Amino acid sequence: MSNNGTTAFVKVFLVFVAASILTLAAFGVGVSVGVRAASPPASSRQLQPVVTVESAPLPTVTFIPTVPASIPTPATPLPTPTEEPIAPTIKPAPTAGNSTKKSGPSGLDTALFEEVWKLLQEQFYGELPESKEVTYNAIRGLVERLGDQNTAFVDPKQAALFNSDMQGQFEGIGAGVELAEGGGVRIRYLFAGQPAEKSGVQVGDVIIAVDGKDITKLNLTEAISLIRGPKDSRVVLTIRREGQQPLDITVTRARIEIPTVTTKTLGEGKIAHIALSEFSSVAPARLADAMKEALAAKPAGLILDLRGNPGGLLDSAVRIGSYFVPEGNIVIERTKDGKERIFRRQGSFLLGKTPLVVLIDAGSASASEIVAGAIQDVGSGVLIGEKTFGKGSVQVPNNLSDGSQLRVTIARWFTPKNRGIHGTGLQPDIVVPLTKEDVAAKRDPQLDRAVEYLLKGK
């Protein structure tokens, strides 16, 4: 389709979007945080990660009514309203100039859209996109007009990628990415021993093309869908690296198990360090195992490292938060009409009397902020590092009939002491910045300060 043709189509399409704005409420009625083969239940809620990475985008969240006093067990969904959002459909258009307004239950004027589509088919000089893509673009345009970056529509391929990540594994190159200034995606981190690292990709590299296709104008989701692919398949990444000409690196994709939990000892073996990369479905059990093993050695203190953790499942956040909060609530969910739901701690309190430091930074978001906020409110640990991202909204993933997904923001959450996080973030108790110079020199003053605090008590 030519640029002029695309422009003409977009102009006409905007007429449909403008007419559709009045029906936005229909997408939020009865609708309450990458790839899972099965569709999530209608009652699922999620905390969408703010920093989408190749390894962990949008999870499905299931609330759990009870958790045994030992190792967490699979969640049981709670019932929620089942009314589905209404999406526009395309039917044979009436003759131009003789349109009869047709409205669905939402009041959406589908006849106008059908009239426009028929006129384009009859009159437009050039190629038109397939009807399925027209429908997708119409939905995307409608959703984008809401002005909420966390309410989104994704096609079946993107939905499948996102759903599988929350099971702790995916097929791809083994890297976490973020949007780069000027376009493309920047490598945030590499999984040790995985294809990207083995092929010579470096942290800080910016991918600007995939198999020769320019991705500098794509959004993060679209770029990720090109980078990822079946194991044993090859992908050519065109890399922009500081101080060098663009270079091509060929990577053979593999099936990657996300290292949800990593552990080590610091301070001459006196301090236990546990880093949690995401709040996936497997995270509560893996963290519980790591904590029990670490605390059995009776360390002088424990460091929970949530830096760069973009979030994940709400029920995982509640279960993990309960390991560190002896009593009371973990999070409060509140809708725009003031209704709220309180999520109380569940299951075993694993921390005991061990002193705790939680490391946070601007990459700590969503579920990370739920856990860190609950710990800070109850006083069971000290937060060290930098202010968190400030993502405190809840999305419902609605699985549509063709495998695509509509994620709708339905509520915001607050800490047990009613502190709002959305747009503000959590302030650490002890501020310790991490500069680019620190990273380049492989220094970690935040971790060093955490060890010092636990050894000296200040």
Residue 328: both structure tokens together: 């009371």
Reported as a pLDDT band with limits 50, 70 and 90, residue 125 is: very high
pLDDT of residue 168: 57
CA-angle at 418, arms to 356 and 277, nearest 5°: 45
pLDDT of residue 88: 31
Taking residues 170-178, what's their average pLDDT?
85
pLDDT of residue 218: 83
Of the CA atoms within 13 Å of residue 333, those in its CB half-sphere come to: 20
Taking residues 337-344, what's their average pLDDT?
92
Mean pLDDT of the chain: 78
Higher pLDDT, 103 or 400: 400
Find out whether 86 and 105 touch, Cβ atoms under 8 Å: yes
Reported as a pLDDT band with limits 50, 70 and 90, residue 245 is: very high
Please write down the HEC assignment for all residues of the chain.
Answer: CCHHHHHHHHHHHHHHHHHHHHHHHHHCCCCCCCECCCCCCCCCCECCCCCCECCECCCCCCCCCCCCCCCCCCCCCCCCCCCCCCCCCCCCCCCCCCCCCCECCCCCEHHHHHHHHHHHHHHCCCCCCCHHHHHHHHHHHHHHCCCCCCCEEECHHHHHHHHHHCCCEEEECCEEEEECCCCCEEEEEECCCCHHHHCCCCCCCEEEEECCEECCCCCHHHHHHHHCCCCCCEEEEEEECCCCCCEEEEEECEEEECCCEEEEEECCCCEEEEEECCECCCHHHHHHHHHHHHHHCCCCEEEEECCCCCCECHHHHHHHHHHHCCCCEEEEEECCCCCEEEEECCCCCCCCCCCEEEEECCCCCCHHHHHHHHHHHHCCCEEEECCCCCCCEEEEEEECCCCCEEEEEEEEEECCCCCECCCCCCCCCEECCCCHHHHHCCCCHHHHHHHHHHHHCC
pLDDT of residue 258: 73
CATH architecture of 261-456: Alpha-Beta Complex (3.90)
Select which of 348, 366, 380, 404 is catalytic: 366
Would you say residue 79 has pLDDT above 90? Answer: no
Would you say residue 89 has pLDDT above 90? Answer: no
Higher pLDDT, 18 or 419: 419
pLDDT of residue 407: 86
Select which of 55, 391, 393, 404 is catalytic: 391
Closest CA to 203 of 436, 448, 449, 364: 436
| Domains in the chain: boundaries | 169-257, 261-456
Closest CA to 202 of 258, 257, 263, 244: 244
Q: Is 70 a catalytic residue?
A: no
Higher pLDDT, 311 or 249: 249
Of 121-125, 309-313, 402-406, minimum mean pLDDT range: 309-313
Higher pLDDT, 8 or 413: 413
CATH architecture of 169-257: Roll (2.30)
Q: 349-408: per-residue pLDDT in tens?
A: 999 999 999 999 988 989 999 999 999 999 999 999 999 989 888 888 899 999 999 989
pLDDT of residue 165: 60
Reported as a pLDDT band with limits 50, 70 and 90, residue 312 is: confident
Q: Is 391 a catalytic residue?
A: yes
pLDDT of residue 43: 31
pLDDT of residue 334: 93
Select which of 99, 199, 377, 444 is catalytic: 377
- 102 phi, psi to nearest 5 deg: -120, 125
Would you say residue 78 has pLDDT above 70? Answer: no
pLDDT of residue 32: 24
pLDDT of residue 276: 96
Q: In the chain, what percentage of residues exceed pLDDT 70?
A: 75
pLDDT of residue 441: 87
Of 121-130, 147-156, 207-216, 300-309, minimum mean pLDDT range: 147-156
Q: 408-453: per-residue pLDDT in tens?
A: 989 998 999 999 999 899 999 999 999 878 887 889 999 999 999 9
Q: Is 442 a catalytic residue?
A: no
Q: 197-228: per-residue pLDDT in tens?
A: 999 999 889 999 999 999 998 877 778 888 98
Reported as a pLDDT band with limits 50, 70 and 90, residue 73 is: very low
Taking residues 174-183, what's their average pLDDT?
85
Would you say residue 174 has pLDDT above 60? Answer: yes
Of 48-62, 255-269, 352-366, minimum mean pLDDT range: 48-62
